[in-house]
A and B are shown apart, each in its own frame.
Chain A
Amino acid sequence: MTDSAVIEIRDLVKTFGSFRALDGLDLSVAPGEVHGFLGPNGAGKSTTIRVLLGLLRKDSGDVRLLGGDPWADAATLHRRLAYVPGDVSLWPNLSGGETLDLLIRMRGADPRTSRRDEMVERFALDPTKRGRAYSKGNRQKVALVAAFATDPDLFILDEPTSGLDPLMERVFNDCVAEQTARGATVLLSSHILSEVERLADRVTIIREGRVVETGTLASLRHLQRTRLVAGLSGAVPDLSGRSGVHDVAVDGAQLTCTVDADALPGVLADLTAAGITSLTSSPPSLEELFLDAYRDRAGAGR
């Protein structure tokens, strides 16, 4: 945690009535990094972002955004950031182009000197349609174009690619890469985990308003298992009782299982002894990391 952090949250608490949406949350985002912000639905991702945007008032804790107070200095700070919500709602009778220009102007930029037209083209957006006529994906594109058209210091993206097709997701990834190359900081909340995996430098996983894990992707891999699919020529060994081995399934001569890192040498030795005809291993996906974090906490709480 550095003093120059773009986002610095310590022990943040936010309650709605008796419900503790955020229960002592910590988050630190360094300048220039893409920070993945993960958690199941209702974990408090959007609540955290809304506190950061000064939309919600914190109950306690310290929150600093771009060196300022997100509640007191909201409008000033917002000129230096771009926000894309996960579910974009547009004015029904404003055209997409009007909405784009309005949002860009409201951030204090001029759409005519921005990359607006370039982004409209890259995201293949028809700006002449009225807000009520856009599909979910197209509404999302309006917010994304408005965000990437300018060069803010910070992007706050709350599940920004929901509703986008894979082609547009690639455009989105390119845009994020261009912005970080320029030195921008990105807070990327998502449960489309492959997207975070590709873009994020560091990840914070939260659940029930608290941080479960935080660190670089590499540092989180210790948690993880390897998924093995092996074709065997000899007798299939019985791995189901062994410690560190999970989800064993046998289908004829094919064995599928997930293995903890420390149990891997033993399992591989047994498989070799049984005569391997084919072997595939998948690296831990963030999805599984995430499930682990979730499962462990659920187990500990019981």
Chain B
Amino acid sequence: MIPMPRLSLDLPAIEVTDLQKRYGQIEAVAGLTMTVGRGEVFGFLGPNGAGKTTTVKLLLGLARPTGGSGKILGAPLGDLGARRKVGYLPELFRYQPWLKAREVLTLHGELMGMPRSRRGKAADEALGIVGLADRAGDLVGRFSKGMQQRLGLGVALLGEPALVVLDEPTSALDPVGRVDVRGIVRGAAARGAAVFLNSHLLSEVEQVCDRVAIIDHGRVVASGELDDVLGQAETLIRLTGLSESDLPAIERFGPPTLEGDLLAIRPMDAENVPELVAQLVSMGAKISEVRSGRSSLEQRFLELVARDRPPAGTPSAPRLR
């Protein structure tokens, strides 16, 4: 009998310190440190080969770390008891094609130690959440890839786990399905589950995650709340008639820099843009373009992971998934 894990709401859902995984000469994960709290949707981003799926496998005990340590729901990585409260949708989702959808879920209910009396109800609930209630009696082998991914999401959400690990959960879904998944992820977080979302779909992550970590070459290159990672808002103004000596006069809006005809103030509150424009005009500047806002996650992602890579099209250039 596998003992129940010590589950406490005070303990983080995931806590890893200096986690490392090496395959021969290849360092897949190189000193990863991160914490994911309860009820949090955590986005885990990175280009192909960055170590995302390896990290997921380390968290779930499917692979063993070569260094560092970590805990899942307060138990050491690989602890069987803790896995009772973890739901997982693998990147390569595949379920027994000879089983019916409901049978896959009851099987996983049995594997996670759920009492027999609860399995059917839990399976029906999970099928309802992922929109497969009317396909419960169909063979999985007859499902489309998108439906199989929905089923996998149902398997991951079965029995209201305390931690849901989703590895590319929308890779096979159409736009409607992707919107559904955002709602499902938010719903899981609302009932207190931590969601670890491994994805390369940046807009998806931007819309649903509370915090993100961007990894590259097995290391975290940026992490924190979305606002922290994306940086503060900035204002860019294309103009003429302004010189370096004029800059102190506009420093109250934020630290200005002037490169050629481009004035950048970073950070700067977007609400102050009209006042800044008025002052620049009064100083004799001729303005041709004003842009205000902050980087998208995609821009920030590219800044962080693409700066040391050869340009696309060269033989060794990595391609974003």
Q: Do A and B come from one complex?
A: no
List the interface of chain B (C-beta within 8 A of A): none
A interface residue numbers (CB < 8 A to B)? none
